[in-house]
Amino acid sequence: MIVLGIDTSGYANAVGVVDGDRVLADFTYEAKTDSLEQIVANIDATLKSAGLTLNDVRGIGVGLGPGSWTGIRVGVTVGKILAFSTGKPVAGVPTLEALAYSARHESSLICAVISVGTRDAVYAAGYRSGDGMVARVGEYYVGDVKGLTGMITGPAVLVGAGAEAYRQIVTKEMASSQISVKAVEAIPGGASVACLAEQRLERGEKDDVLSLTPLYLKESTAKAFVNKYKSSHT
């Protein structure tokens, strides 16, 4: 199934296209603006690079966040407009899951981390990989970087932009445990969103285009979203 993936939760527009497990295109564009027109132009450029048009696409995946409030909102809106106007199914993908998917070949705990944008606060979640998929374990985390130590009870890999800086903070806090913690610098990819959306759509797990909403995680409300967007494998 050819699926278009979009994620605008950060300070870039990630757009990718996959056909099953084959990546046809995967690009990241500087988010000079959060305008619908700019994101649509980036989608058009990505499809053209793959020799495709929107008519060739059979499904749409959209990154739900967490991340930039404005960026997520605009990206989800674009995905919903495309799905509604073309009648194609849409599947939302938590951005932390897309990050974890980029490290799916790791055998240890995958801790996906996204900066909240203020001081040392982060959004995070732990994942385990298997059969080319990732499944979230535990709840979403929103808080200080040092608090990630509560998620790490064994070998782990931190994945995200600034992962090495987070690793240094975490390992300093856990110096006495001697637990191995690796760092993988990564940003959410459009192809990762597309792959995860394709997996959901193949299982018949499409989202309602009108009710699909971003995943906004705040410390006081994080638990309210856990069940709504949790992985079906947890």
* CATH number of residue 122's parent domain: 3.30.420
Average per-residue pLDDT for the chain: 89
pLDDT at residue 220 greater than cutoff 80: no
User: Do the Cβ atoms of 185 and 114 come closer than 8 Å?
Assistant: no
163 within some domain: yes
pLDDT at residue 19 greater than cutoff 70: yes
Same domain, 130 and 207: no
pLDDT at 152: 92
119 within some domain: yes
150 within some domain: yes
Rounded-to-integer distance, Cα 94 and Cα 127, Å? 12
Same domain, 32 and 86: yes
Tokens representing residue 133 in the block: 């998929």
Same domain, 70 and 119: no
The domain of 124 spans: 98-185
177 within some domain: yes
Rounded-to-integer distance, Cα 185 and Cα 205, Å? 30
Number of DSSP helices (H) and strands (E) in the chain, helices first: 6, 10
Which one-letter amino acid corresponds to residue 153? T
pLDDT over 70 percentage in the chain:
91
Same domain, 168 and 201: no
pLDDT at residue 131 greater than cutoff 60: yes
Q: Place 233 in a pLDDT band, splitting at 50, 70 and 90.
A: very low
Q: Can you tell me whether residue 233 is helix, strand or coil?
A: coil
Same domain, 173 and 222: no
Same domain, 13 and 55: yes
pLDDT at 101: 95
* CATH number of residue 91's parent domain: 3.30.420.40
Rounded-to-integer distance, Cα 192 and Cα 15, Å? 9
Q: Can you tell me whether residue 24 is helix, strand or coil?
A: strand
Q: Where are the beta strands (DSSP E) in 108-233?
A: 109-115, 121-130, 133-144, 156-160, 181-185
Angle between helices 36-49 and 69-86 (to 10 degrees): 60
pLDDT at 23: 97
Q: Within 13 A of 71's CA, how many CA atoms are on the CB side?
A: 20
Q: Place 218 in a pLDDT band, splitting at 50, 70 and 90.
A: low
What mean pLDDT is predicted for residues 80-101?
A: 96
Query: Count of domains in the chain?
Result: 2
Same domain, 83 and 45: yes
Q: Can you tell me whether residue 197 is helix, strand or coil?
A: helix
Same domain, 90 and 10: yes
234 within some domain: no
Same domain, 17 and 86: yes
Kindly report the backbone phi and psi dihedral angles of residue 213, in degrees, each rounded to the nearest multiple of 5, phi listed first: -130, 155
110 within some domain: yes
Q: pLDDT tens digits for 192-201?
A: 999 999 999 9
